[in-house]
Amino acid sequence: MSIKVMIVDDSAVMRQVMQELLSGYKDIDVIGTAMDPLLALQKMDRNWPDVIVLDVEMPRMDGITFLRQIMASRPTPVVICSTLTEKGADITLQALAAGAVEVIAKPTAGLRDFLQQSAHELVSAIRTAAQSRPRQGRQPAGGEPQQPGKLTADALLKAPSSLHNQRTTEKIVVLGTSTGGTQALETVLRELGITCPGIAIVQHMPERFTRSFAERLNTLCTIEVREARDGDRILPGLALIAPGGRHMLIKRSGAQYYVEVKDGPLVSRHRPSVDVLFRSAAIQAGSNALGMIMTGMGDDGARGLKEMFDAKARTYAQDEESCVVFGMPKEAIKLGGAEQIIALDAIPAVLMSWR
């Protein structure tokens, strides 16, 4: 059965090119296009889509207002197509907070060529959105396009052999998430106090969005939240979010932990990769680490969590009921990497009790 898609964008070129591209995929059916949300609502009343591809800045009604209206009345998966500027990133994060599922970067020039080159990313986002379970107040996030030639964490560091398992006074948390993760992270981090262990986070999100995302969380949380920089210490009361487009690894100096931020190939089809973060935690921290895998499409982080489990770390997976997409936790559970499966609202207490 095909995925019914509605395209809402004030650019006639964008609507035309996207419709032409998507028409080449048998599992996707563009049932309509609209230049603004009010016209879209008229068309959707007659034939409701499975996925909405939505611009943010439009006449008569902006995309965020439209999105909130949809999520309040009839939650429907939404893919945001937004320009990657500082202003665009802030606005798009508001859209994510309102319940959007995926984010696609829209350039300010060369639109036709860009879309033709990025057709796989757009189609992947639509397919991911169609499998999600959007709910009012939940905020899935966009990740990198999935690419052929899937690499493992071996591309950046060898599998665990010698482990730093001696007990230290410092404990750390490593957390990985993707689709559905931005709202889930907000739910968790807002409940943490300044005595919580230091946290290193990989959230699949496009480059230039992670800084705005971290800054937004920092205004909402008691703990400090910021985009990670190479060499940052992992400290109590601090959450470090891996920059979009770069990997983040755990390093150890004596009894202290810090992060290394580095370039590298896509691992498990992502950069940053949860598998890379988790493997580095298994090697460098072992039983001094707690790993948490949360809502997301695919299997990034599943093997890494199993490596943490084998290294005597504490390991958890978010349960299916509270996930927007159960893919990543499900794969970790199948591999035997999660010692416990817990609901989203139980995660803050687990993190606060990790000593």
Domain(s) of CATH 3.40.50.180: residues in the chain: 153-352
95 has a pLDDT exceeding 90: no
125 has a pLDDT exceeding 70: yes
Summarize pLDDT for 189-225 with one digit per residue, the tens. 999 999 999 999 999 987 778 998 999 999 999 999 9
Task: Give the bridge partners for 30, in sequence order.
Answer: 5
Task: List, by residue number, the catalytic residues.
Answer: 178, 204, 300
CB neighbour list of residue 355: distance below 8 Å, 6 or more residues apart: 171, 197
Summarize pLDDT for 231-264 with one digit per residue, the tens. 999 999 999 999 999 999 999 998 899 999 999 9
pLDDT band at residue 58 using 50, 70 and 90 as cut-offs: confident
Rounded to an integer, the average pLDDT of 134-159 is 55
CB 87 within 8 A of CB 94: no
Q: What is the pLDDT of residue 209?
A: 83
CA separation for the pair 78, 125 (Å, rounded): 10
Please state which architecture CATH assigns to domain 153-352. 3-Layer(aba) Sandwich (3.40)
Phi, psi (deg, nearest 5) at residue 101: -100, -40
171 has a pLDDT exceeding 80: yes
Rounded to an integer, the average pLDDT of 340-350 is 98
Q: What percent of the chain has pLDDT over 90?
A: 57
Q: What is the pLDDT of residue 163?
A: 54
What's the CATH superfamily of 3-130? Response regulator (3.40.50.2300)
147 has a pLDDT exceeding 70: no
Q: What is the pLDDT of residue 144?
A: 39
Summarize pLDDT for 134-144 with one digit per residue, the tens. 765 443 333 43
Rounded to an integer, the average pLDDT of 157-167 is 63
354 has a pLDDT exceeding 80: yes
CA separation for the pair 40, 313 (Å, rounded): 50
Domain(s) of CATH 3.40.50.2300: residues in the chain: 3-130
Summarize pLDDT for 25-51 with one digit per residue, the tens. 999 999 999 999 999 999 999 999 999
Q: What is the pLDDT of residue 166?
A: 59
